[in-house]
């Protein structure tokens, strides 16, 4: 089924709305509402000397201060709530691995819109009412499990809510229920794929699609999961502070992630100067939540590095796109005066024969001199020395710095059920 046909089958998908200028057109109403309902933003805008009713275009918006994660933390637990508590039907929370978590309140309308966006994402990936969808992300305070579940139900497919972990049970469900769609983090997708390969049970499975998200993952990792499982996979985007997963997904063209611009306004900024960048330029993604009620956000800095694309996609969808996430501004490695994103390393590995998708970066400093060691898994049977040499050469020519490369045995770097940590900075401050 074509994407537009799948989308057209959803009565609540308003195809005519979705272009970037429509998002801009929604801005005045949003500014009026956020000033009226959010004590946090009323104070913030007043302090910045911004008159909310004067913010009517993207150009006006560029003058408005950003919202940061630190402000959200500072507002813990419900300081950014913008509706009377009686209207809040649910909260979710970020993991809070560093400091206090962020609590996000949702109204019934927020929950509905999120389920719509998720159903739209699933439809774009080709999921239909006839699919059986295994949802392996975590449930509970985290947004992922619940978010996927609601979208699967909204679409009318069958959710199999296994949650994370317990590989035995996952495979049993997959076999016995004939799961057709697997949802998870890409690391967990790879872990399951390798286990399926090891047991030689692929032929007994009915898997046809994979939807992976919640961490940046390279083309090579996606390719590997697709090759082992013989499925098509899709990259779903989202973050807890906005709704959760499902605010965008790539289509079958796999040339960037479509996002739902009838609910969200995306801008790209220079992460250092804060200047707004043009479509096509690489920078940090900043999101304004045009229709969110419980905790609306104005110019929220995501720290995700990408580019905005407004030209039409070959799939025919009217929704604009961003590139798949290249990295995070906080993952940016500064070494020898060069800024490197892990996304660039993925890119180099993709073009290097014999190198797998799995790697780790170790930064050390010795006598004031920085060294980057790339540990990468070689494909089985590859000549390690040749692969190391090719990696080194490709990084030098593509990124412009000389690094040390060590090729390790395939499967020796840790796989994770959640997010794989790849950069280890052991330099002392
Ligand atoms: Zn497309």
Contact 61, 55 (CB under 8 A): yes
Question: 249 and 365 share a domain?
Answer: no
Q: Which residue has the higher pLDDT, 151 or 368?
A: 151
Question: 239 and 305 share a domain?
Answer: yes
Which of 266, 285, 375, 371 has the alpha carbon at shortest distance from 329? 285
Write down the residue that tokens 């999120």 correspond to: 114
Question: 289 and 383 share a domain?
Answer: no
Task: Specify the DSSP element, H or E, that contains 72.
Answer: helix 69-74
Domain boundaries, position 407: 332-425
* Domain's final residue, options 299, 328, 357: 328
Average pLDDT along the chain = 90
In the chain, the percentage of residues whose pLDDT exceeds 90 is 72
Q: Which residue has the higher pLDDT, 33 or 272?
A: 33
Question: 119 and 263 share a domain?
Answer: yes
How many CA atoms, within 13 angstroms, populate the side-chain half-sphere of residue 125? 34
Give the integer Cα–Cα distance in Å for 282 and 327.
11
Question: What pLDDT, on a 0 to 100 scale, did the predictor assign at position 3?
Answer: 47
Q: Say if residue 215's pLDDT is above 80.
A: no
Question: What pLDDT, on a 0 to 100 scale, did the predictor assign at position 234?
Answer: 96
Question: 155 and 260 share a domain?
Answer: yes
In the chain, the percentage of residues whose pLDDT exceeds 70 is 92
Q: Say if residue 214's pLDDT is above 60.
A: no
Tokens of residue 125, six digits: 């990936």
Which of 150, 158, 149, 161 has the alpha carbon at shortest distance from 129? 158
Q: State the distance from the centre of ligand 1 to the C-alpha of 183, rounded, in angstroms.
A: 20
Count the Cβ atoms, other than its own, within 10 Å of residue 212: 24
Q: State the distance from the centre of ligand 1 to the C-alpha of 321, rounded, in angstroms.
A: 8
Give the integer Cα–Cα distance in Å for 221 and 368.
35
Question: 200 and 324 share a domain?
Answer: yes
Residue 27 domain-assigned (yes or no): no
Count the Cβ atoms, other than its own, within 10 Å of residue 59: 10
Which DSSP symbol is given to 277? P
Contact 76, 100 (CB under 8 A): yes
SS3 335: strand
User: What would the mean pLDDT of 276-284 be, rounded to a whole number?
Assistant: 92
Q: Say if residue 12's pLDDT is above 90.
A: no
Q: What is the CATH number of the domain that holds 414?
A: 3.30.300.30
User: What would the mean pLDDT of 38-48 be, rounded to a whole number?
Assistant: 97
Q: State the distance from the centre of ligand 1 to the C-alpha of 280, rounded, in angstroms.
A: 16
* Domain's final residue, options 328, 344, 360: 328
Give the integer Cα–Cα distance in Å for 281 and 117.
26
Counted domains in the chain = 2
Q: Say if residue 320's pLDDT is above 80.
A: yes
SS3 427: coil
Q: Say if residue 17's pLDDT is above 60.
A: no
Residue 58 domain-assigned (yes or no): no
Question: What pLDDT, on a 0 to 100 scale, did the predictor assign at position 147?
Answer: 97
Question: What pLDDT, on a 0 to 100 scale, did the predictor assign at position 395?
Answer: 92
Residue 261 domain-assigned (yes or no): yes
* Domain's final residue, options 273, 296, 328: 328
Q: Say if residue 226's pLDDT is above 80.
A: yes
Tokens of residue 246, six digits: 């499902």
Q: State the distance from the centre of ligand 1 to the C-alpha of 317, rounded, in angstroms.
A: 6
Q: Say if residue 283's pLDDT is above 80.
A: yes
Question: 147 and 240 share a domain?
Answer: yes
Q: State the distance from the centre of ligand 1 to the C-alpha of 282, rounded, in angstroms.
A: 20
Question: 234 and 158 share a domain?
Answer: yes
Q: State the distance from the centre of ligand 1 to the C-alpha of 255, rounded, in angstroms.
A: 7
CA distances, 100 to each of 12, 76, 141, 339 (Å): 37, 7, 14, 29
Q: State the distance from the centre of ligand 1 to the C-alpha of 9, rounded, in angstroms.
A: 17
Q: State the distance from the centre of ligand 1 to the C-alpha of 316, rounded, in angstroms.
A: 6
CA distances, 294 to each of 45, 82, 131 (Å): 19, 6, 32
User: What would the mean pLDDT of 355-361 be, rounded to a whole number?
Assistant: 90
Question: 201 and 269 share a domain?
Answer: yes
Residue 406 domain-assigned (yes or no): yes
Question: 231 and 296 share a domain?
Answer: yes
Helices (H), 178-297: 186-199, 219-229
Residue 215 domain-assigned (yes or no): yes
Q: Would you place residue 97 in the very low, low, confident or very high pLDDT band (cuts 50, 70, 90)?
A: low
Q: What is the CATH number of the domain that holds 181?
A: 3.40.50.12780
Q: State the distance from the centre of ligand 1 to the C-alpha of 319, rounded, in angstroms.
A: 8
Question: 156 and 300 share a domain?
Answer: yes
- Positive or negative CA dihedral for 327, 332, 333, 335? positive
Q: Would you place residue 72 in the very low, low, confident or very high pLDDT band (cuts 50, 70, 90)?
A: very high
Q: State the distance from the centre of ligand 1 to the C-alpha of 231, rounded, in angstroms.
A: 19
Q: State the distance from the centre of ligand 1 to the C-alpha of 270, rounded, in angstroms.
A: 26
Question: What pLDDT, on a 0 to 100 scale, did the predictor assign at position 98?
Answer: 64
Q: Would you place residue 393 in the very low, low, confident or very high pLDDT band (cuts 50, 70, 90)?
A: very high
Q: Which residues contact 350 (CB under 8 A, 6 or more apart)?
A: 218, 219, 220
Q: State the distance from the centre of ligand 1 to the C-alpha of 318, rounded, in angstroms.
A: 8
Which of 117, 70, 61, 54 has the alpha carbon at shortest distance from 268? 61
How many CA atoms, within 13 angstroms, populate the side-chain half-sphere of residue 120? 29
SS3 301: strand
Which of 276, 358, 262, 269 has the alpha carbon at shortest distance from 305? 269
Q: State the distance from the centre of ligand 1 to the C-alpha of 309, rounded, in angstroms.
A: 11
Residue 112 domain-assigned (yes or no): yes
Contact 247, 264 (CB under 8 A): yes
Q: What are phi and psi of 144, to 5 degrees?
A: -65, -60
Question: 222 and 308 share a domain?
Answer: yes
Q: State the distance from the centre of ligand 1 to the C-alpha of 30, rounded, in angstroms.
A: 27
Give the integer Cα–Cα distance in Å for 360 and 424.
8
User: What would the mean pLDDT of 327-331 be, rounded to a whole number?
Assistant: 81
Give the integer Cα–Cα distance in Å for 50 and 157.
46
**Which pLDDT tens digit goes with each residue over 133-177?**
999 999 999 899 999 999 999 999 999 999 999 999 999 999 999
Q: State the distance from the centre of ligand 1 to the C-alpha of 20, rounded, in angstroms.
A: 15
Residue 44 domain-assigned (yes or no): no
Q: Say if residue 100's pLDDT is above 70.
A: yes
Residue 280 domain-assigned (yes or no): yes
Q: State the distance from the centre of ligand 1 to the C-alpha of 251, rounded, in angstroms.
A: 5
Q: Which residue has the higher pLDDT, 327 or 43?
A: 43
Q: Would you place residue 89 in the very low, low, confident or very high pLDDT band (cuts 50, 70, 90)?
A: very high
Q: Say if residue 90's pLDDT is above 90.
A: yes
């Amino acid at each position: 089924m074509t994407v537009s046909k799948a989308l057209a089958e959803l009565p609540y998908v308003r195809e005519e709305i979705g272009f970037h200028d429509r998002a801009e057109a929604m801005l005045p109403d949003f500014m009026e509402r956020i000033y009226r309902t959010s004590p946090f933003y009323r104070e913030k805008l007043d302090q910045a000397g911004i008159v909310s009713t004067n913010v009517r275009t993207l150009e006006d918006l560029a003058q408005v201060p950003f919202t940061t994660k630190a402000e959200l933390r500072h507002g813990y637990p419900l300081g950014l709530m913008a509706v009377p508590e009686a209207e809040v039907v649910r909260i979710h929370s970020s993991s809070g691995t560093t400091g206090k978590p962020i609590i996000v309140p949702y109204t019934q309308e927020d929950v509905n819109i999120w389920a719509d966006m998720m159903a739209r994402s699933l439809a774009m990936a080709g999921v239909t009412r006839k699919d059986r969808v295994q949802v392996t992300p975590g449930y509970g305070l985290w947004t992922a499990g619940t978010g996927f579940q609601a979208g699967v139900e909204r679409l009318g497919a069958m959710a199999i809510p296994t949650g994370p972990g317990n590989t035995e049970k996952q495979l049993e469900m997959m076999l016995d229920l004939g799961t057709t769609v697997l949802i998870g983090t890409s690391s967990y997708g790879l872990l399951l794929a390798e286990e399926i390969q090891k047991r030689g049970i692929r032929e007994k499975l009915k898997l046809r699609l994979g939807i992976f998200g919640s961490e940046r993952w390279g083309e090579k990792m996606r390719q590997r999961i697709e090759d082992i499982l013989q499925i098509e996979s899709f990259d779903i985007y989202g973050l807890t502070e906005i709704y959760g997963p499902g605010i965008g997904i790539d289509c079958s063209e796999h040339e960037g992630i479509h996002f739902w611009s009838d609910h969200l306004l995306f801008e790209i900024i220079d992460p250092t100067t804060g200047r707004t960048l043009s479509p096509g330029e690489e920078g940090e993604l900043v999101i304004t939540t045009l229709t969110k009620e419980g905790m609306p956000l104005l110019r929220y800095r995501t720290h995700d590095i990408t580019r905005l694309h407004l030209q039409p996609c070959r799939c025919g969808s009217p929704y604009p796109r961003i590139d798949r996430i290249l990295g995070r501004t906080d993952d940016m490695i500064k070494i020898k005066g060069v800024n490197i994103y892990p996304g660039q390393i993925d890119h180099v590995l993709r073009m290097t024969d014999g190198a797998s998708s799995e790697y780790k970066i170790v930064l050390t400093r010795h006598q004031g001199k920085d060294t980057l060691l790339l540990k990468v898994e070689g494909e089985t049977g590859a000549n390690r020395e040749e692969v190391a040499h090719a990696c080194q050469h490709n990084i030098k020519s593509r990124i412009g710095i000389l690094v040390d490369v060590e090729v390790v045995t395939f499967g020796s770097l840790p796989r994770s059920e959640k997010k794989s940590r790849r950069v280890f900075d052991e330099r002392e401050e």
